[in-house]
Amino acid sequence: MSLANTVLAVNDNLPIRTDSTVHSGKVRSVYWLTEQDSQRLIKQYQYNVPTDTPLAVMIISDRISAFDCVWHAEGGLNGVPGKGAALNSISNHWFDLFKQNGLADSHILDVPHPFVWIVQKAKPVMIEAIARNYITGSMWRAYANGERDFCGIQLPEGLQKDSQLEDLLITPSTKGVLKGIPGVQEADDANITRQSIVDHYQAFKFNQLEDVDYYETLLKQGFQVISKALSKLDQIFVDTKFEFGYVKDRDGNNKLIYMDEVGTPDSSRIWDGESYRQGKIVENSKEGFRQYLLDHFPDPDILLNKNRMPERFELAKNNLLPQEALLKVSKTYIDIAEKILGKPLVLSENPRQEIIDVLATKYGLIA
């Protein structure tokens, strides 16, 4: 089988039984199950949710997104081999560790296949919860240009690129376009202050004011659990993005939980510890691919300047990258996954057919 065929690039056309439109994001697709199938699975597998909870099958892909664009390579390689399995396995590992440490639950109810999650419907909090332990990336670029106020937090003078911050910094941004909130730009990923969240907590979809403190607690706890585990592997947890939402337990009680993925090379920066001590940054995350793109194209401002989004989309659409670029990403993702898991990553030769088979035989969800 060719390398391109081992990649799951298209994940929104599987024959999963649904009476809703498939929601396809940059990396994952969501299939909302029928009411009948949701209730059947809840009863069959005794999921800790109310019997009328909508369930979905969430399928990850091997697509690679950076700078808000999906990238492709020569030879029909439309994704990164092993990427989907690596992301899901890392997230599953951290979610298990969160449970062991008494942290909040996630929206995941079952993991039938390395590419698949069965999840319960959640009401997302409209915040990208970002925590930073080092000053690097976009924050360093802004700092180097004279900015000192980040989401209402004042940074001191004299910080050095890639240096550790004195405290874990929470720099939230909006998840989606929020309208009518004073002082909040009507744009996705717009930086916001903690005070703005407190003043307009309902607009950010918090159930109660106290949950603003609670989401910060969960963010810090999750960060510390992952950071401590990575440090034992001589890896540095530099920064990350978490998402949160509300679900109901079997008794109908609301609870704030972790959503989406956590601590992956897609949502976080992870540096090699030994290299850092030698004054060199070795990225074990997607940041290395972002830097490759900035170096690869003659006008990197297209990738950094949000006013040039049409040009950026055209750049990604009309330029096939060398295969080696995506294979290097593949090695980075598989290596860090195997380091975290402590065992080889299970890779699929034909992920599409495997997904169909398991959803048909174990769950009866194939139309």
Query: Which residues are CB-contacts of 169 (< 8 A; sequence separation ≥ 6)?
Result: 131, 132, 133, 150, 153
- Check: CB of residue 59 under 8 Å from CB of residue 324: no
> Does residue 324 belong to any structural domain of this protein?
no
- Check: CB of residue 48 under 8 Å from CB of residue 250: yes
- Check: CB of residue 333 under 8 Å from CB of residue 281: no
Domain range for 227: 123-277
Residues 88 and 136 in one domain: no
> Does residue 195 belong to any structural domain of this protein?
yes
> Does residue 282 belong to any structural domain of this protein?
no
Residues 127 and 92 in one domain: no
- DSSP H or E run through 130: strand 127-134
- CA count, 13 A, side-chain hemisphere, 22: 17
pLDDT at 94: 98
| Helices of type H across 102-145 | 137-144
Write the secondary structure of 66-111 as one string of H (helix), E (strand) and C (coil). Answer: ECCEEEEEHHHECCCCCHHHHHHHHHHHHHHHHHHCCCCCECEEEE
Q: What is the pLDDT along the chain (367 residues), one digit of tens a residue?
A: 567 778 999 999 999 999 999 999 999 999 999 999 999 999 999 999 999 999 999 999 999 999 999 999 999 999 999 999 999 999 999 999 999 999 999 999 999 999 999 999 999 999 999 999 999 988 999 999 999 999 999 999 999 999 999 999 999 999 988 888 888 888 888 899 999 999 999 999 999 999 999 999 999 999 999 999 999 999 999 999 999 999 999 999 999 999 999 999 999 999 999 999 999 999 999 999 999 999 999 999 999 998 999 999 999 999 999 999 999 999 999 999 999 999 999 888 899 999 999 999 999 999 9
- DSSP H or E run through 223: helix 210-231
284 phi and psi, to 5 degrees? Answer: -105, 50
- CA count, 13 A, side-chain hemisphere, 280: 6
pLDDT at 284: 96
Residues 117 and 233 in one domain: no
pLDDT at 146: 95
* End-of-domain residue from the set 241, 261, 277: 277
Distance CA 81, CA 76 (A): 12
Residues 156 and 272 in one domain: yes
- Check: CB of residue 85 under 8 Å from CB of residue 348: yes
pLDDT at 272: 97
Residues 9 and 73 in one domain: yes
Query: Which residues are CB-contacts of 163 (< 8 A; sequence separation ≥ 6)?
Result: 134, 135
Query: Which residues are CB-contacts of 76 (< 8 A; sequence separation ≥ 6)?
Result: 2, 4
174 phi and psi, to 5 degrees? Answer: -75, 145
Query: For the chain, how many helices (H) and strands (E)?
Result: 11, 17
Please state, as a whole number, how many other Cβ atoms lie within 10 Å of the Cβ of residue 343: 9
Residues 127 and 268 in one domain: yes
Residues 63 and 200 in one domain: no
Instruction: List the Cα angle 148/262/177 in 5-degree steps.
Output: 60
Sign of the Cα pseudo-torsion (178, 130, 71, 351, in order): negative
Residues 157 and 23 in one domain: no
Query: Which residues are CB-contacts of 275 (< 8 A; sequence separation ≥ 6)?
Result: 281, 282
Structural domains of the chain, count? 2
pLDDT at 186: 86
> Does residue 306 belong to any structural domain of this protein?
no
Residues 97 and 136 in one domain: no
Residues 151 and 13 in one domain: no
Residues 92 and 146 in one domain: no
> Does residue 185 belong to any structural domain of this protein?
yes
Task: Give the largest CA-CA distance in the chain.
Answer: 61
Residues 224 and 264 in one domain: yes
